Structure 1
Amino acid sequence: NYVGVTDSAWNNPGKGKELALSQINQGADVIFTAAGNSGLGAFDAVEQFGKNAQGEANKFVIGVDSNQNGVKPGFVLTSMVKRVDNAVYDVVKEVLGGNFKGGFHVFGLDKDGVAYMMDENNKNLISPEILQKVEEARGKIVAGEIKVTDAMAK
């Protein structure tokens, strides 16, 4: 589902919440946002479903771009971030070393260009066993054992 097709679609949390609630009502347990400020509506949507008798969230959200784990603690499984800091560091290092070559540079898992965030706000939501499986999958992706489609390569 899309919030919209104009630039205002990136700043409409109300529509983001509406879409997230629709997905939850169709059976979604986790909402992965990717809509700028509109994605914040999904945080409100999962919070609206509250917590169970054990104090655990009934629905979850995954933040994007920056660490959003603290936006609604207990409701955010993790945040997927673009590690622009690592990309800038590598490019500056290459420039200073006289080794920089212009062109299209990809900073994926193998170059720590993307990552998931773990901190005090979500550490109790994901078990060590699940984290181990995530790290194993990450390693297999980096090693080429698991193929991830690159939309930019098409």
Structure 2
Amino acid sequence: MLKRVLLLLLSLMLITTLLVGCGGGTTEPETPEETPEATQPEAEETAAIKMAMVTDVGGVNDQSFNQSAWEGHQKARNELGVEVNYVESNQDADYLPNLEQLYDAGYDLIWGIGFMMGDVILEAAEQNPDQKYAIIDNAYGDTPSNLVGVLFKAEEASFLVGYIAGKMTETGKVGFVGGMDFPVIHGFHYGFMAGVKHANPDVEVLVQYAGDFNDAAIGKAIAIQMYQSGADIVFHAAGGTGDGVIEAAREQGKYAIGVDRDQNDLAPDNVITSAMKRVDNAIFNIAEELKAGNFPGGGTVVYGLEDGGVGIAPTSDKHVPADILEETRAIEQQIIRGEIFVPDNEADYNANY
């Protein structure tokens, strides 16, 4: 009897052992610790390019090339995300300290607006070889690698507005008012005279330089004198001094031709066209190259009719007859193809016209 009981107990113990060995327990398996995901490094934010400009004495609201330059900066801010700023100069002595102020502020590219700043920009570039600089309306024989000069074939746009003036004058007299007697302004002067002569060789061109880019009173006085001498259209390349030319045209009921930007808004009934110099586009283009890592330092970039760097104002059709505008467009293509020579100095003008 005892032997049977012992055998039964042994059998029960064996069955229990087999059940446990086969996983018959009810304990849930431990959940393995989750392996943390590899932390991805955050994309490094690219710092915005910083670009600023120093105006000449005309100031940022000169209705001319300083204003156009600032519009180019604003376009770079809006379309390229460039951080922009400007410092105004009240006198020539402000140029160097203004450049130093922007250098100390850490701007990637510093612009000087106008050939009057040519020497100080060059000096700054040579003293700060790791700083990038650019200048409007100036070029150098030996340009440092951290500096780029930007020039415009202003004579080409001036030829076109000269042609318009030569075709539209009713008195046979037109005028040209220059700011200061410098080579940059000579391009406007002789390009305009060549365009007038191409349109009508019998038209007389009155010429006077104001000796200043920021004296509207002088510009007005010169223009009034020209109108009283029989001119009915006066073209200016004189910065803020040219504002006086346009004011005189409005008061005298005559025509004026603007410069650098479309100046029709200054006197909608009197500014018939403008010889535009697309400083805004040049500033934007250089900013775009800088952002792409292709700063064109060490040389000069030149813009003309062929690449849209100069041209006549889009509002020209308000006052210029359609047939004259059509002729002007044809002449533009002839200039681009090299079929018409456009002078930018007295010697070339005298030799060809």
The TM-score, its normalising length taken from structure 1, stands at 0.78
Alignment of 1:76-115 (within 5 A): 76-92=271-287, 94=289, 96=292, 98=294, 100=296, 102-115=298-311
**1:126 is paired with a residue of what secondary structure?**
coil
Task: For residue 100 of structure 1, report the CA deviation from its aligned partner.
Answer: 4.5
Q: Once structures 1 and 2 are overlaid, which stretch shifts more, 142-151 or 92-101? A: 92-101
Cα distance in 1, alignment partners of residues 210 and 280 from structure 2: 29
Letter in 2 for 1:71: L
Greater relative contact order (Cα 8 A, min sep 6): structure 1 or 2?
2
Write out the 4+ residue segments of structure 1 that deviate beyond 3 Å after TM superposition: 88-95, 97-102
Cα distance in 1, alignment partners of residues 232 and 259 from structure 2: 17
Cα distance in 2, alignment partners of residues 142 and 67 from structure 1: 22
Alignment-derived partner of residue 63 in structure 1: 258
The answer to whether structure 1 residue 3 and structure 2 residue 206 are counterparts is no
Alignment of 1:124-143 (within 5 A): 124-143=318-337
Task: For residue 89 of structure 1, report the CA deviation from its aligned partner.
Answer: 4.3
Please list every run of 5 or more consecutive structure 2 residues that lacks an aligned counterpart in the other structure: 1-207, 349-353
Letter in 2 for 1:83: R
Letter in 2 for 1:64: V
Alignment-derived partner of residue 225 in structure 2: 22
Q: Percent of pairs identical after alignment?
A: 37
Task: For residue 15 of structure 1, report the CA deviation from its aligned partner.
Answer: 1.0
Letter in 2 for 1:80: A
Greater gyration radius:
2
Deviations 1:98-136 (A, max 9, x none): 5947412210111111111123xx533112111111100
Alignment-derived partner of residue 247 in structure 2: 44
Deviations 1:70-112 (A, max 9, x none): 1111100112221123334444555527594741221011111
- Preserved CA contact (<8 Å) 2:317 2:325: no
Letter in 2 for 1:112: G
Please list every run of 5 or more consecutive structure 1 residues that lacks an aligned counterpart in the other structure: 51-58
Task: For residue 37 of structure 1, report the CA deviation from its aligned partner.
Answer: 1.2
Residues 93, 24 of structure 1: alpha-carbon distance in 2 compared, 3 angstrom cutoff: same
